[in-house]
Chains A and B, each alone.
Chain A
Amino acid sequence: MLNSIVYSLTIEISNPNLRPFKLYVDDKKVKNIELVNLLVRYLKFMPNMVFVDGIDEADYGLSFEKKVETVNIFLTFLKTQEVVTFEVKKNEDNINTAIKLADLIFEKITQTNGIFSTNLVFSMNWNGVRQIFLSDISGKKIRKLTDNLTDSVAPKISPQRNLVVYTRYFKTGGTSLRLIDLKNLDDIPIYSSKGLNVAGSFSEDGTKIYFTSYDGKISKIFIYDINKKSLESVYSSRSRLASPVKTYKNNSIAFVSDEYGSPQIFLFSLENKKIKRLTYKHNYSTSPSFAPTGTHFLYVAMVSGINKIYASSIDGADFALLTPIEKSFEDPHWSRNERFIFALSKESNSSSVYLIDISTLRYTKLFTLPAIMSYLYIE
C-alpha cells in the first residue's frame, strides 16, 4: 500500500479543490443523444469526478432536457440548490461542444481552469516519415498538421493554442525550426542552421520560443522573438543542453545539461544570468515541466531502465514519485489547474496518453493509437 505522505505534495494538501467531486447524472430522458454521451464520457476522464448512483450521495447533479432546437443542461449544486443552466443548439459540432461544456462544468465545480479543451501535439510515423499531429484529449479529433517529405519532430504548442513550433530535418543533415499558425495555417521557417535545433517551449505570453541549437561545437539556448523576428543567444555551453522551458516565475528558464557528467535539471535566470542546479536525487533527470504557479516542476528520472515521473519543489524539499509502477512514462506536462499530469507511455506497437491525478496517483488512459506517438506536448 502506498504511503500517502511519501507520495503527496504540499500543493495537493493546500489546495481545497483537490477533493473528489460526487456527481449524479440523470440522463434517462436523453440516453441516445450523442452530445450527452460525449459530455458524460469526457467528465469520466476526470479521475477526481466520482459518479454516484443516487442523488442522496451526490454533491452535484447533472440533468438534461431535450427540446426541439436545443438541449438544456442543468448543473445543480445540491447543498445550495444553485442551478447553472447551459443551453446547447442541436446539430453543432458535438465533440467541440461536449469539450467546451465539460470544461464549463469542471470550472463551475472546481473554480479552476478546465482540462478538456487541452490541446495535444506530438510526432508520429506517417508512411515512413514522421509528421506533426494535433489532437483533443480524447484522441477523437486528430489533425495531421504537416505533410513534409522529411521527418518532423518535437512540436510545442503556444499557451494561447494558436502556434506550433517544430523541428524539420534536412535530407543532407541539419534541421530547421518552423512555425505553424493554426489560424491561417501558414507554415514558415524561422531558424535554419547546421546541426540540431529543437524548441523547448513558448514563453507564457506566446511571443517567444526557447530553443537549443548545437552546431557540432557548442550548445546554445536561444530565445526567438516571434513579433520582432529577432534572436537572442542567452546561454551556451560545451555540455549537452536540452529542453529549455518556461518556469512562470522569476524570469528564468529551466533546461537539461550534462555539465556534471549526467543529465540534470538547471534553472537559468534571465535577469542575473545565474544558474542553479535543481535535481540531485537521480543520475538521469530530464524533461522538466513547470507548474503554472511556478512552485513545483516535474521531471523524468531513469531508475533501473524505467522512466519515472517525479515532482519536486524548486528547493527540493517537497519531492514525490508520481508513477510508482513498473511502467515507463515520458513527456510529462501539468494540466493548467495543476491537478493532473499528462504523460505518454509506449506499448509494443501502440502508445497511449495518460492523465495522472496527483492527489490520488490514479492514472486514466485518455486514448491509445496504433502507432508510436512521440514528443508529446500539451497546452
Chain B
Amino acid sequence: MRKILLSLCVVFLLTACAKQKVVSQPPQAEVKPVPQEQVVPKDQKGADQKDKESQIQQKEEAKKASVEEVTPTMIAKAQTTATDGSKEVSVLAKKIHFDFDKYDIKKEAADVLKEIADYLKANPDVRVLIEGHCDERGTREYNLQLGMRRAESAKKYLVDLGIDEKRLETISYGKDKPLIDEHNEEAWAKNRRCEFKRIK
C-alpha cells in the first residue's frame, strides 16, 4: 500500500511539474557576427545562476487566463495611475538622464551614480532595481531595448565603482511609463532616464 501511495505521489509531482517546465535545451545553431553564447541547460549552470533562476521560476506558475469581458466604461474606470506605493527618500530618489536614442553615461549622470555607489557602499544590505525609460518618440518595442541598454549602462557604471553586480537588477519600461506626460523637448529630456528602486 505504501508503495502504491509513493508511486501516486511521484506521478502527481511529475504531472504538477510538467506545466511549469522552462525551456532548457541547448541551441541547435550558432551564427556570427558575435561569438554565440551557448544557451546552457539549467543543470550545467553555476550554482549562483541556478539559485537566481530558481528564485525567478518560483514566481512563475502555470495558471488559467482570464476571460473577463470589458466595456469602455470599465476601461475608463481602470485608468488609475501606476505607482509602486513607495516613497524613496534616499539618494536613490535621484534620476540620471540621457540624450535621444543614446545610453552612454553623461558627466551629470556620473556624479549621481557616484553618490548612489557611495550610498550602496554605506548600506551593504540594500539591493537596487535600475529601471530604464525613454521619451515618447520612436516605437515601443525598440524603446524597450533602448531602456534596457540605459539600465545596463547605469549598472555597469556602478559595478565599475565597486558595487557587487548581484546587488543590482535591471529592467526596461521603454516609453510606457513617462515621468511627464507632455509632448515637448523639456518633457522628453526628463523622460529619458534611469530610476533606482530599492528591492524589498
Residues of chain A at the chain B interface (Cβ within 8 Å): 124-130, 133, 139, 141-147, 151, 153-154, 169-170, 172-176, 180-182, 185-196, 198, 200, 212, 214, 216, 218-220, 222, 224, 229-238, 240-243, 256, 262-263, 273, 284, 286-287, 300, 302, 305, 307, 330-331, 349, 369-371, 374-375
Chain B residues near A241 (CB-CB < 8 A): 145
Instruction: Judge whether B142 and A263 touch: CB under 8 Å.
Output: yes
Instruction: Judge whether B22 and A192 touch: CB under 8 Å.
Output: yes
Residues of chain B at the chain A interface (Cβ within 8 Å): 19-25, 27-34, 36-37, 39, 52-53, 56-57, 59-72, 75-76, 78-83, 101, 127, 129, 137-142, 144-146, 148-149, 152, 155, 169-173, 176, 199
Instruction: Judge whether A188 and B62 touch: CB under 8 Å.
Output: yes
Pick the contact of A242: B67, B70, B127, B141 (CB < 8 A).
B141
Q: Roughly how many angstroms separate A245 CA and B172 CA in the complex, as a whole number?
A: 21
Chain A residues near B34 (CB-CB < 8 A): 218, 236-238
Chain B residues near A330 (CB-CB < 8 A): 139-140
Pick the contact of A189: B22, B75, B79, B101 (CB < 8 A).
B22
Chain A residues near B80 (CB-CB < 8 A): 125, 127-128
Instruction: Judge whether A234 and B78 touch: CB under 8 Å.
Output: no
Q: Roughly how many angstroms separate A262 CA and B146 CA in the complex, as a whole number?
A: 11
Instruction: Judge whether B141 and A146 touch: CB under 8 Å.
Output: no
Instruction: Judge whether A143 and B22 touch: CB under 8 Å.
Output: no
Q: In the assembled complex, how far is the CB of residue B21 from the closest CB belonging to chain A, in whole angstroms?
A: 7
Across chains A and B, which 8 residue pairs bring their CB atoms closest together, nearest first? A173-B169, A233-B27, A128-B82, A370-B76, A189-B60, A240-B145, A185-B65, A187-B65
Instruction: Judge whether B22 and A284 touch: CB under 8 Å.
Output: no
Instruction: Judge whether A189 and B141 touch: CB under 8 Å.
Output: no
Chain A residues near B56 (CB-CB < 8 A): 170, 174, 176, 192-194
Instruction: Judge whether A231 and B27 touch: CB under 8 Å.
Output: yes
The DSSP consensus for interface residues of chain A is: strand
Instruction: Judge whether B68 and A144 touch: CB under 8 Å.
Output: yes
14 further A-B contacts with Cβ under 8 Å, apart from A174-B171, A185-B67, A234-B31, are A142-B71, A147-B66, A172-B169, A182-B65, A189-B57, A191-B23, A192-B57, A196-B148, A214-B148, A229-B25, A232-B28, A236-B34, A236-B36, A375-B140
Q: In the assembled complex, how far is the CB of residue B64 from the closest CB belonging to chain A, in whole angstroms?
A: 5
Instruction: Judge whether B57 and A180 touch: CB under 8 Å.
Output: no
Q: In the assembled complex, how far is the CB of residue B128 from the closest CB belonging to chain A, in whole angstroms?
A: 10
Chain B residues near A307 (CB-CB < 8 A): 137-139
Considering residues B32, B59, B76, which has the most beta carbons from chain A within 10 angstroms of its beta carbon?
B59
User: Would you mind naming 9 contact pairs between A and B with Cβ atoms under 8 Å apart?
Assistant: A133-B70, A151-B173, A194-B52, A212-B145, A236-B37, A242-B142, A307-B138, A370-B79, A375-B140
Chain A residues near B145 (CB-CB < 8 A): 196, 198, 212, 214, 219, 240-242
Q: Given that A180-B65, A233-B39, A375-B141 are contacting pairs, would A127 and B171 also be in contact in the complex, using a CB cutoff of 8 Å?
A: no
Q: Given that A191-B22, A241-B145 are contacting pairs, would A172 and B129 also be in contact in the complex, using a CB cutoff of 8 Å?
A: yes
Q: Given that A153-B176, A214-B148 are contacting pairs, would A129 and B27 also be in contact in the complex, using a CB cutoff of 8 Å?
A: no
Chain B residues near A130 (CB-CB < 8 A): 82, 176
Q: Roughly how many angstroms separate A203 CA and B67 CA in the complex, as a whole number?
A: 26
Instruction: Judge whether A169 and B171 touch: CB under 8 Å.
Output: yes
Pick the contact of B141: A193, A220, A236, A287 (CB < 8 A).
A287
Q: In the assembled complex, how far is the CB of residue B188 from the closest CB belonging to chain A, in whole angstroms?
A: 9
Q: In the assembled complex, how far is the CB of residue A197 from the closest CB belonging to chain B, in whole angstroms?
A: 10
Instruction: Judge whether A195 and B31 touch: CB under 8 Å.
Output: no
Q: Roughly how many angstroms separate A256 CA and B199 CA in the complex, as a whole number?
A: 32
Instruction: Judge whether A237 and B33 touch: CB under 8 Å.
Output: yes
Q: In the assembled complex, how far is the CB of residue A135 from the closest CB belonging to chain B, in whole angstroms?
A: 9
Chain A residues near B22 (CB-CB < 8 A): 189-192
Pick the contact of A186: B39, B64, B172, B176 (CB < 8 A).
B64
Q: In the assembled complex, how far is the CB of residue B34 from the closest CB belonging to chain A, in whole angstroms?
A: 5
Q: Roughly how many angstroms separate A130 CA and B36 CA in the complex, as a whole number?
A: 34
Instruction: Judge whether B68 and A243 touch: CB under 8 Å.
Output: no
Q: In the assembled complex, how far is the CB of residue A203 from the closest CB belonging to chain B, in whole angstroms?
A: 15
Q: Given that A218-B34, A232-B29 are contacting pairs, would A187 and B62 also be in contact in the complex, using a CB cutoff of 8 Å?
A: yes
Q: In the assembled complex, how far is the CB of residue A367 from the closest CB belonging to chain B, in whole angstroms?
A: 9
Chain A: CB-nearest residue to B81: A128
